[in-house]
């Protein structure tokens, strides 16, 4: 069985282009939406994403909507804890494909890491 994990030096989730998330106001509070939009920088990339190291500069203090945790995903998206693994894998694969492509090194690294 595939098991979700965040793959270091990927950063696909740091591409925050609001055009890719037309329903964003359905799962973020008005305050979170404002924070999210303030984080969108050049090319849709998060202003906290370091393009050289491909890591988050505020990882330990990142907002709730940047965290993959059972309670948060249940609250934000209605995803039960038992379904989080498969949901997170699907989300990551969609985001990686959209940002880097379905045959990218990032996709290959993700699939290998999670056991696909």
pLDDT tens for each residue of 77-115? 999 999 999 999 999 999 999 999 999 999 999 999 999
pLDDT value of residue 111: 97
Residue 44 contacts residue 16 (beta carbons within 8 Å):
yes
Contacts of 47 (CB under 8 A, 6+ apart): 39, 40, 41
- Mean pLDDT of all residues in the chain? 95
CA-to-CA separations, 5 to 16, 18, 86, in angstroms, rounded: 20, 24, 11
pLDDT reported for residue 1: 82
Calculate the CA dihedral of residues 42, 34, 59, 5 and round it to 10 degrees. -90
Q: How confident is the model at residue 11 (pLDDT cuts 50, 70, 90)?
A: very high
What length does the chain have?
Answer: 116
Token duo for residue 66: 């940047």
């Amino acid at each position: 069985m595939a098991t979700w994990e965040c793959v270091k030096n990927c950063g696909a989730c740091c591409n925050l282009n609001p055009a890719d998330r037309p329903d964003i106001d359905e799962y973020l509070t008005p305050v979170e939406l404002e924070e999210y939009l303030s984080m969108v920088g050049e090319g849709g990339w998060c202003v906290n994403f370091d393009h050289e190291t491909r890591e988050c500069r505020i990882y330990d203090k990142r907002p709730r909507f940047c965290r993959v945790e059972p309670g948060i995903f249940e609250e934000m998206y209605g995803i039960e804890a038992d379904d989080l693994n498969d949901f997170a894998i699907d989300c990551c694969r969609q985001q990686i494909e959209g940002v880097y492509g379905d045959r990218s090194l990032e996709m290959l690294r993700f699939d290998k890491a999670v056991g696909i």
